[in-house]
Amino acid sequence: MSTENTRSLKWKEVYSLAALNAAVVISWIAYHEYQPILMQNLGITHLVDFLIIAKAIILITIPPLAGWLADRIMKKNGKYMVIFTVGIGATAMVFMVVATLIGTSNIMDVSGIIPFMIVIWLISMNLFISPANSMIEAFAPAKQLPIVVGVLFLVTELLYALEPVVVGLVTFFGDTLTFVVGGILIGGTGFIFHRVSRDEVLQRKSELMQNDRVQNQSVASYLAILVVGLLLGVGKAFIVEFLPEFFDQNFAGFEISGSVISFSILGICAVGGFLISKKIADMNLQRVLITSFVVLAFGVLILIFSGNVYVTIISALIIGAAFTTMNIGGLPYAIQNLSVRHVTYGVGIYIGASEVITGLFEYLYR
């Protein structure tokens, strides 16, 4: 019997990655809450568009670049966690520096430093995303990867669904303490993930690379991963960016706001994705994704042309269902179609592509 079939799912590593992803989500929510406030307080609101564009470019380009560098370093000297460690350390450091700068803003002008630090933070936050999430191929057999993604999806999307609660905590802590806590969360969960995964998992990854005979990844594989990432981003963008604005503009008299509906759908997606992950693990991922794309297109068309509030909500749920199945199947599909030598780069492409439409919508609905 092959090692692939006998290998068990490493829950300790999965939970440590889930904790790291939770810290990332909380940090993003804190960023979105305080970035406009900081710009207003420092009198640099004219830089808001610049930061939105910079964020979109960074989210699209840095994960693939970080993945490519991580694969190169692993190939040369077997050290996989270098980019991850740099990203975690830099992010935690920038959090602390920004907290200090905010605390001293009353006695010195920091308006020229803060935007620069925000850009550095955006870059460092995206350095460790693809190296960390590509590690799931060492946490479980290929057939069980959707189950791992189901756990990660439950944690991250549930936190996004509970964004008003997180924002309330952020407001309670205040700006300086929020950035301190953010630095501790990223640094702490990054350290735990590194400590938990560095020995057995990294040894297994090295063995996989030694046994991997694929030297060059086909362009078709990268193209397929790029398309899957792009369409995943369409689902997320329509739920998070498009739906709240569209709903409030077209159904202003409705008793529930578009934001509440958006958060509710994310919550349903989080729980639903976790519950169906085991079922998806037993299915053909390519068929799952193709079906999801068709359902997504159907839901988007209904949403755009709908003139009825309840039809709009139903169409949003359809988009949410497609978004969920694409999430659960997308990353495992990407990993299964990648050589171990190129998996981090491929995952980076997948993550970067998934942010393209969201970045565009965020700029349009700013």
Which residue carries 């942010």 as its tokens?
Answer: 355
Mean of pLDDT over the chain? 86
Please identify which residue in the block is written with the tokens 């905010």.
102
**CA nearest to 269, candidates 188, 365, 152, 167:** 152
**Residue 182 Ramachandran class (φ > 0 left, ψ -120 to 50 alpha, else beta):** alpha
Read off the tokens for 280: 């998806």
246: its two tokens:
């569209």
Q: What is the CA radius of gyration of the chain?
A: 20
316 in Cβ contact with 107 (< 8 Å) = no
Whole-model pTM: value is: 0.89
pLDDT number for residue 210: 64
Please check whether residue 204 is in contact with residue 212, taking contact to mean a CB–CB distance below 8 angstroms.
no
DSSP symbol at 80? -
The pLDDT of residue 7 is above 60: no
Answer for the pair 20, 190: CB distance below 8 angstroms, yes or no: yes
**Nearest alpha-carbon partner for 262 in 233, 241, 276:** 241
3-state class of 221 per DSSP? helix
Contact 30, 170 (CB under 8 A): yes
Q: Which residues contact 256 (CB under 8 A, 6 or more apart)?
A: none
**Cα torsion for 13, 17, 23, 26, to the nearest 10°?**
-130
> Which residue type does 261 have?
I
- pLDDT, mean of residues 227-240: 93
The encoded tokens of residue 237 equal 């963008």
Q: Write out the CATH class of domain 3-211.
A: mainly alpha
pLDDT (tens digit per residue) in 243-283: 999 999 888 888 889 999 999 999 999 999 999 999 999 99
Domain boundaries, the chain: 3-211, 219-364
Q: What is the pLDDT of residue 4?
A: 46
Q: How many CB atoms lie within 10 A of CB 317?
A: 17
Nearby residues of 245 by Cβ (< 8 Å), 6 or more positions away: 258, 365
pLDDT, tens only, 279-312: 999 999 999 999 999 999 999 999 988 889 999 9
**pLDDT score at 1:** 32
pLDDT confidence bin for 140, thresholds 50/70/90: confident
